[in-house]
């Protein structure tokens, strides 16, 4: 299984509720739907495929 964690450890550790697992996943899904990860993944995976990973 492959996994990717996007974020800044300091923000996650000290950021409060906005950096809880639930909010992090919501932001990832929101950004995936907006195709904001396209430059990062260089077309290897679509935003829809990233969104689909939430159920894995």
30-39 confidence digits (pLDDT tens): 999 999 988 8
Backbone angles phi, psi at 4, to 5 degrees: -135, 130
Do residues 51 and 32 lie in contact, with contact meaning Cβ atoms separated by under 8 Å? yes
CA 53 – CA 3 distance, rounded (Å): 10
At which residue do the structure tokens 């990832």 appear?
28
Q: What is the mean pLDDT of residues 28-52?
A: 88
pTM value surpassing 0.75 = no
Least Cα distance to 11 among 24, 30, 26, 1 occurs for: 24
Enumerate the domain spans of the chain: 16-55
């Amino acid at each position: 299984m492959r996994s990717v964690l996007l974020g800044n450890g300091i923000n996650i550790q000290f950021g409060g509720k906005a950096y809880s697992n639930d909010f992090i996943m919501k932001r990832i899904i929101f950004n995936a739907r907006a195709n904001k990860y396209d430059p990062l993944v260089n077309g290897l995976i679509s935003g829809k495929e990233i969104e689909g990973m939430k159920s894995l």
